[in-house]
Amino acid sequence: MTAGISTIIYPVKDLARAKALFGALLGTEPYADEPYYVGYKDAGQDVGLDPNGHAKGMTGPIPYWHVADIRASYAALLEAGAESLQDVHDVGGGRLIASVKDGDGNLVGLLQDPTG
């Protein structure tokens, strides 16, 4: 079971240029502004810019499905034929992410926030 998609991460090559574009689009300043990640929150959506995304194998934006048990969801996707792109790992504060590629090359992300 998921809580839907409310996070999307874009791989970017020029972080300053991407920040200008998404700042103009969203009309807000980022809540996180680091050399390794820039994040915006707008209308219940979390939009991230990852300047290392291409090096991680990202070929385009990844929508992240918010799940209660990331390890079980990740295993189920692999069992269903997905190819691992990024294994489950902590990106800070207990937030876990993982991503896979389906048979058509589509990227699917999983995200689990820390509980309580």
Convert the pLDDT of each residue in 12-60 to its tens digit.
Answer: 999 999 999 999 999 999 999 999 999 999 988 999 999 999 998 888 9
Nearest to 57 by CA among 111, 14, 108: 108
Domain 2-112 in CATH 3.10.180.10? The answer is: yes
pTM of the model: 0.86
Nearest to 27 by CA among 45, 44, 12, 40: 40
Quick one: tokens of 32? Answer: 């996180």
pLDDT of residue 96: 96
